[in-house]
Structure 1
Amino acid sequence: MVQRILAAGDIESLDQSAVPRIRTPERASIFMARATRLRQLADRGNPIAGYLRLMAGLADAQQAIMRGFKARAPSAESIATAQQHSMPLIPALSGVRDPAWRDVLISLLDKIEAAAPLTPTLEQLIEKLRSLDAATLDAQADAIFAQRFAEVDPASAPFIVAALQVVWTDLAADIDPREIPYLETPGLCPICGSHPVASTVRLGGAYDNYRFLQCGLCATEWHMVRSKCSNCDSTKGIAYHALGTPDADTQTKEAESKRALLKAESCDECHTYRKIGYQNKDYDFDPFADDLASLTLDLLMGEEGYRRASPHPWLWPEQVDEEERSA
């Protein structure tokens, strides 16, 4: 039996209760799976393999901390207000966050130091992070959430984000999907209001053949029809781009695109793109890890005149430039 791929209009015409809308993160495995995938991608000769292995160690540390961590839950009143006004349940941009995130950061640094010998550069960075006071750390978190790039220290940001991810992922894992409201801005995470990092066309069960965006902060996934821009919500000028053989003929390029595990979905209305992966090509695909490991596709999209809709939480713009120069 050949399964038909539903077009955007077909999906939107369905009873929405029949389409699983939300996938909350699995507390026991979310960071472990990410670490495993990062190492897989590093072992395939990736040009930033060293960085991917470092980030795999960071994900290992996140998972270890999650086992004994419990974030301060939001009040019933704040959740009710968010539901009433179609707002994210636990908005990252509110400036109200569990102060325990700073303790999580120190624990992450402890585990990274204990895991393996550090380079002098990483030793200096960890020492610097340990020396920052609460006000400075919170100011960095505010700048990261607001994407005020000029205020973000790109070297420190992945570690600060990792600590914040533990807090918000812990909260998201406990939320009943039925309590999560529809947002007026569908391209943002309905739990924390953060940007998606990439999307997955899932394989199997109730999620089969549906596209889900994954939040870069709390790892919540939410359904969004394909052929629709996740940045501006437009259905016009959507195109898909994949890496292929340089100077290949049109037929070869089309064949390579069909086989591609990862593509960039571009929009000519807002001139941005986000990546999309297909579990039927590789079941281990992880939107967070695979996006981080595919800088070559980012280079291609830059050459074609598109910009990322939002940065990868573990690779800020200045770091991208540095890695591109060393690749």
Structure 2
Amino acid sequence: MTQTADIPVTPLSESPLELKTLLAAAPLELYQHRAKRLETLTSDSPLADYLELCRRLALVQADLAANADFGPSPITEAQASLKVIGPETDVYWQGVLQQLLAKLLLQTEEPIARVVRLLMQQSQQQIATWGRALRQGQISQVPAQFSLFLWAAMGVYWSHWAPLVIKRMDLRQIEQQPLCPVCGSHPVASVIKDEPRAGLRYLHCSLCESEWHFIRAHCSNCGQDKEMSLWSMDDHQAKVRVESCDECHGYTKMLFVGQAPEMDAVADDLATLVLDAQLSEQGFVATTTNPMLLAHEADGSQ
């Protein structure tokens, strides 16, 4: 791995009003794109079996994004946010979960099918408790075998309502922040876009799939801008690079989707785990969450 601290950073425009500080996802198109990307990445990958499971899961998410019953809007005039929503919404995202599991069960073999059936048998109260724990970053409180499917269902539900939240937000008030301004979740990675101008950086939410602008060469975790480094596997023009912070020792991947529109934040983060391993050896810790790679971690370590 090569340290690429001398990669030039495109300066911000003198007219910041030209950029959108917050972008809503189109869930159907996003999940379809993710499934297509996962299919491409599966070829010759040591993670081929798992990537194939994730591809099928993304296709089910796309189906549900188009056809599921999401119930009444959880957004109120008093609470125009998805950061804290009432327990009355549990029945609806759990309905999405049961549909997701039923569809996935038809496409998987043992032992995945056994895990799916076991999750389908859990009580609504238990599932609601696990869902809240995941959204609060308390990953170790949820059985690891269930986390992928729980988050996938919540992702479909939260991404469905996120555009409504964004429409009601005053985008001029969106500030630089490490967590999603729509739902409060961690990003999965940074994406570097070339529109409306080259080099704009957005953080991609791991839950509601929204993206919010974040200035480059600033740590997306602690915000400092003096001790930052960029890393890549091969050269300065790599499509996936890592930005690390010498202050908090956190890192996040940067995906240059402007150069490679076929990339997907979740899929390509998952496909570049070798970078995570090498950054870990250097003493850095990921400050991001990949919804397809949830595992037991100490609370608050994300």
TM norm structure 1: 0.81
CA distance in structure 1 between the aligned counterparts of 2:57 and 2:256, rounded to whole angstroms: 25
Could you tell me which amino acid in structure 2 is paired with residue 152 of structure 1? Answer: V
Matches within 5 A, 1:286-301: 286-301=264-279
Report the equivalent of 2:295: 317
Q: Give the 3 Å change call, closer, same or farther, for CA 94–275 of structure 1 in structure 2.
A: farther
Aligned residues: 287
* Larger mean Cα displacement after TM superposition, 178-187 or 307-316: 178-187
The CA deviation string for residues 155-185 of structure 1, in whole angstroms up to 9 with x for no partner, is 1101000000011100013344462454566
Question: Given the superposition, is the C-alpha separation of residues 129 and 37 from structure 1 closer, same or farther in structure 2, using an over 3 Å criterion?
Answer: same
Out of 84, 91, 99, the position equivalent to 1:99 is: 91
Gaps of 5+ in 1: 80-88, 245-255, 320-327
Q: For residue 259 of structure 1, give the secondary structure of its aligned residue in structure 2.
A: coil
* Correspondence for 1:249: none
Distance 1:309 1:25, change over 3 A: same
Q: In structure 2, what residue type is equivalent to 1:36?
A: K
* 1:200-236, Cα deviation, whole Å (9 max, x unpaired): 1113x42542011100001001111110111111112
Question: Structure 1 residues 220, 207: closer, same or farther in 2, change over 3 A?
Answer: farther
Per-residue deviation, 1:310: 3.1
Q: 1:225 to 1:265 in 2, by over 3 A?
A: same
Matched, 1:263 2:241: yes
Deviates more, 1:230-239 or 1:54-63: 230-239
| Structure 2 unaligned blocks of 5 or more | 1-7, 298-302
Residue equivalent to 1:84: none
Structure 2 residue identity aligned to 1:310? T
- Aligned 8 A contact 2:28 2:63 in 1: no
TM-score (norm 2): 0.88
Going from structure 1 to structure 2, the CA distance change for 1:130 and 1:95 (only over 3 Å counts) comes to same
Query: What is the match of residue 247 of structure 1?
Result: none
Task: Say if 1:180 and 1:191, in contact at 8 Å, map to a contact too.
Answer: no
Residue pair 1:20, 1:207 contacting (<8 A) in 2 also = no
Aligned positions of 1:231-242 closer than 5 A: 231-242=221-232
> Are 1:150 and 2:151 counterparts?
no
Cα distance in 2 between the residues matched to 1:280 and 1:16: 19
Q: Which has the higher helix share?
A: 1
Query: Secondary structure in 1 aligned to 2:283?
Result: coil
Indicate the residue corresponding to 2:185 in structure 1: 194
CA positional deviation for 1:130: 0.6
Residue number in structure 2 paired with 1:323: none
Indicate the residue corresponding to 2:56 in structure 1: 57
User: Paired residue for 1:137?
Assistant: 127
Other structure's SS at 2:218 match: coil
Report the equivalent of 1:27: 27
Alpha-carbon distance between aligned partners in 1 of 2:87 and 2:272, rounded to the nearest angstrom:
32
Contact 2:192 2:255 survives alignment (8 Å): yes
Structure showing greater relative contact order (alpha-carbon pairs closer than 8 Å, 6 or more residues apart)? 2
Tell me the distance in 2 between the aligned counterparts of 1:180 and 1:96.
Answer: 26
1:6 aligns with 2:10: yes
Tell whether the 8 Å contact from 1:311 to 1:317 is kept in structure 2 after alignment: no
Counterpart CA distance in 1 for 2:181 and 2:16 is 16
Query: Percent of counterpart pairs with the same letter?
Result: 28
Alignment RMSD = 2.2
Partner of 2:67: helix, strand, or coil? coil
Contact 1:24 1:175 in 2 (8 A): no
Describe the shift of the 1:213–1:36 C-alpha distance in structure 2 as closer, same or farther (beyond 3 A).
same
Alpha-carbon offset, residue 283 of structure 1: 1.6
User: Alignment partner of 1:236: what SS?
Assistant: coil
Taking a change above 3 Å as real, the CA distance of residues 173 and 101 of structure 1, as seen in their structure-2 partners, is: same
Alignment of 1:52-91 (within 5 A): 52-71=51-70, 72-73=72-73, 74-79=75-80, 89-91=81-83
CA deviations over 1:82-124 (Å, ceiling 9, x no partner)? xxxxxxx21158766442111111111111122x3x3321121
Question: Where does residue 108 of structure 1 map in the other structure?
Answer: 100
Of structures 1 and 2, the larger Rg is shown by 1
